[in-house]
Amino acid sequence: VYAEYESRYPAPQVRLFLDLMLGRLALILLLFTLLGVLGAPWLVAMIAPGFVEQSDKYAATVSALRFTFPYLFFISLVAMAGGILNARDRFAVPAVTPVLLNLCLIGAVIWAVPFAGNKALTLGIGVFVAGVVQLGFQLPFLAFEKRLPVPKIRPGKDTQAIAADGVRRVFSLMLPAVFGVSVAQINLLINTVLASFLVTGSVSWLYYSDRLMEFPVGVFGIALATVILPKLATQISERAVEEYFQTIDWALRLVLLVVFPAAVALVVLAYPLMVTLFQYGEFSVEDARMAARSLVAFSPGLIGFVLVKVLAPAFYARKDTRTPVRAGVIAMVVNALCAVILTKALLFGHVGLAAAVSISGIVNAGLLYRYLV
């Protein structure tokens, strides 16, 4: 929608559209953040019900959630800022911004955690600070592009029809779009609930293996999707259908060229990676071995996860959010069935949960490709 406004309307109309978008999005995010902070005990009980009976673990998780939940407010605004910059072919700043989260966490670990009584809480505060830093980092670049929005809830009467209509279209497309590209994360969340009922350590094993699996997804899949979405949207608005499919074809070939070797590498190097990166303190050799098993189960799904990141924007560029949702719902059903079968019937434990996510990711990508062609 924003790419369409940039190509069709003068700069004042575009800025008004951004002002309205920021004002309404920030208001919704603020309310959502307050609900999350106040409802942290219920959220933890819902997401990890197995923790409720372990009072210390439950209390620590609630405290950490209350400090990390506001990060959603800032990172959502960061995503909006990044989308504006990407649409104007400024890819470097949004690409560098996530590094600031890692730098803030590393700084917290080095300079704050050793002197803190509650180390988990200190890391939570580090996440909060990272959100502020990431947003502040992008604002000067928006100002340089003359696209720094000023929050507004209501437009003026003379321009209401154009700008307000665009904002309504964004919100009508946003929720289905978010669901369409987040199926893997939703499936993992569901499986985390199931893992909380398995042997102690299952949630951590899934978490650490997922972090390694998400690394190539974030480095390559999200980066590629970020680059092609504005291009696809422009090609659709210009009715350049042939170029649209050529862009998709180029992206798919690049995915297979890079991601397939990465998936094989994760299978072969699963245990050495776990030992090298995470075996320290309470994370024992047995923990590394169990996490490596779930990483092996996650690895085949890596291709599916990255393909979804590339194929879903192809539909969003056409303002079609229903098709990715339809594929996502089917993939979620597949994940639930596989999770129950692999963990309950075949007794594969946390490895079965990881395999279920992989299977659903491949199904999701296959359905999107089938619907596209």
Beta strands in the chain (DSSP E): none
- Domain limit, last residue, from 122, 151, 180: 151
Domain housing 87: 1-151
Confidence of residue 253 (pLDDT cuts 50, 70, 90): very high
Indicate whether 94 belongs to any domain: yes
Q: Is 102 exposed, middle or buried (0-12, 13-18, 19+ CB in 10 A)?
A: exposed
Indicate whether 263 belongs to any domain: yes
Backbone angles phi and psi of 46, in degrees to 5: -80, -40
pLDDT digits (tens, 9 = 90+) for 153-185: 876 665 566 677 878 888 887 777 777 667 767
Domain co-membership, 138 together with 199:
no
- Rounded to two decimals, the pTM is 0.72
Domain co-membership, 88 together with 219:
no
pLDDT digits (tens, 9 = 90+) for 311-332: 998 998 888 888 998 998 999 9
pLDDT digits (tens, 9 = 90+) for 217-251: 888 888 888 889 888 988 887 888 899 999 999 99
- Only one residue has tokens 């390559």, namely 220
Give the highest mean pLDDT range of 88-92, 112-116, 281-285, 299-303. Answer: 299-303
- In the chain, how many domains are there? 2
Domain co-membership, 198 together with 100:
no
pLDDT value for 114? 78
Domain co-membership, 355 together with 251:
yes
285-309 in b/e form (b: 16+ CB < 10 A) is eebbebbbbbbbbbbbbbbbbbbbb
Confidence of residue 21 (pLDDT cuts 50, 70, 90): very high
177-200 in b/e form (b: 16+ CB < 10 A) is bebbbebbebbbebbbbbbbebee
**Segment 130-145 mean pLDDT:** 95
DSSP 334-355: HHHHHHHIIIIIS--HHHHHHH
pLDDT value for 200? 82
Domain co-membership, 45 together with 118:
yes
Q: Is 217 exposed, middle or buried (0-12, 13-18, 19+ CB in 10 A)?
A: buried
Beta strands in 160-300 (DSSP E): none
Indicate whether 164 belongs to any domain: no
**How many CA atoms lie less than 13 Å away from 357 in the CB half-sphere?**
31
> How far apart, in whole angstroms, are the C-alpha atoms of residue 280 and residue 289?
13
**Segment 322-348 mean pLDDT:** 87
Domain co-membership, 203 together with 85:
no
Does the structure show a pLDDT above 90 at 73? yes
